[in-house]
Amino acid sequence: MQQEKRLTGKIAADRIRQMAVPRADPALLAAYRALGDASGVLSDVMDRLGIPGVVGASTLAPTLPGKVMVGTALTVRNVMQRGHEYEAARAVVNKMAEFEAHNLAQPDDVLVIQGVPGISNMGGISAQLGKRHGEVGAIVMGGVRDVAHSRSVGFPVWASEITPRTGKWRVETVEINGDVEIDGVRVCCGDIVFADDTGVCFIPIARAQEVLVMAQKTVKDEEIKCAAIDAGTHIADLPKSD
């Protein structure tokens, strides 16, 4: 049987921009998780600080609802493979290389893929491998498939499309750990990714502490307001936020 051709060795290495990703302190990631399903709060804070980086769940929908995911971005950029897809399929030419990104992963990483629309950029085996390497989930601008498989291993994925059409002979990975663009948002490897049922926030690592402090205060203010509402306080008398 003909062996499947994959990106390996020097070819794959040439496309890895950074071998060592700048990673946030685990305590910082834990503090973000403690915010709960706070993408709305983070979006407001990022607006006030002038930081772009929010994509709604109508664009990036979770395949495993009810999850809050926080981690460090490990980035992959895909493009359409040259040549005819059926000829590549017959020759079993596979130029996808997100597996190389999995090999660089550490616990609490999030795979962030700038993918190709209408085609799967990540399947169930890839999700299972990511889970084994300690990744907490994935963000894919483009198609994914094998959703039941990724759900079965508890690997949440936020994706813009779901399709059975494989990317094996249609997609080529051209860069790992470079900058990617997700719905107009620039994401760098090492940035913090926060995702819940409402959407996804990409937080530049250099601004992460600043965003966190404001978000923590906002969450506390909202808890006070909700308690006041439950106590029967009139809307005009609710505590004012800064």
Q: In the chain, what are the domain boundaries?
A: 9-231
Dihedral sign from CA coordinates of 160, 162, 165, 169: positive
Take residue 242 and report the two structure tokens written for it: 């800064």
Quick check: 182 and 141 in contact, CB under 8 A?
A: yes
Quick check: 155 and 109 in contact, CB under 8 A?
A: no
Tell me: is residue 151 an annotated ligand-binding position.
Answer: no
The answer, yes or no, to whether residue 9 has pLDDT greater than 50, is no
Q: Round to the nearest angstrom and report the end-to-end CA distance of the chain.
A: 67
Quick check: 237 and 53 in contact, CB under 8 A?
A: no
**Residue bearing tokens 């203010």:** 221
Q: pTM of the predicted model, to two decimals?
A: 0.87
Q: Judge: domain 9-231, CATH 3.40.1440.10.
A: no
Q: With pLDDT > 70 as the criterion, what percentage of the chain qualifies? A: 86
Tell me: is residue 197 an annotated ligand-binding position.
Answer: no
The answer, yes or no, to whether residue 222 has pLDDT greater than 70, is no
Mean of the pLDDT values across residues 89-105? 86
